[in-house]
Amino acid sequence: MNTTDHPITADDARAALESLAMVNKIAVNSMRPPLWLILLCAVSLGIKTAAMGLMISNDLWISIQWGSYIVCCICIASWIITLHVKGIDIKIVDVNITKTGIISAILICTLLVSSRVTYLQTGSLLFPVIAGIFNTLILAYGLHFGLRWNVKEREKN
């Protein structure tokens, strides 16, 4: 742009920014996992939360927890492999941490621990199941809209 004699007008700059925003939106949508994979991962976390809360000293609850761990790991690994096949390399340690991500992680961990503590104190089966449902909803919402949150926070900066 420095070598041309034509100055850039405000309309040209707006059009260029709009086209960049459109390309960014397409890129974000292509990196987002499909809805079935999001739901599978979120439901496995919800089952893990309920199983952790209801964990009685028998092998059934322990195997349910390990099964949910395995399903969640398979979901994440399959999506990373799918992105790699598409030509998008993801570094797990280079993730952009946002305020919304931190809040949702704290909520998920709090529900995991409090479901177990509440079950031990009250003996009620209701709270671990409700905590599992909330964790499912939090993770599904975060995985579905998480990349868009990151893009919106970058646009503000």
Residue whose tokens read 């790991």: 73
pLDDT tens-digit map of 45-73: 889 888 888 877 678 888 888 898 898 88
Q: Determine the length of the chain.
A: 157
pLDDT at 15: 82
The average confidence (pLDDT) of the chain is: 80
Beta-carbon-side half-sphere exposure of residue 113 (alpha carbons within 13 Å): 5
Q: What percent of the chain has pLDDT over 70?
A: 82
Handedness of CA 9, 10, 11, 12 (dihedral sign): positive
Could you tell me the pLDDT band of residue 143, with boundaries at 50, 70 and 90?
confident
pTM of the model: 0.70
| Neighbouring residues of 38: CB distance < 8 A, sequence distance ≥ 6 | 140, 143, 144
33 close to 79: Cβ distance less than 8 angstroms: yes
Report the C-alpha gap between 67 and 75 in whole angstroms.
12
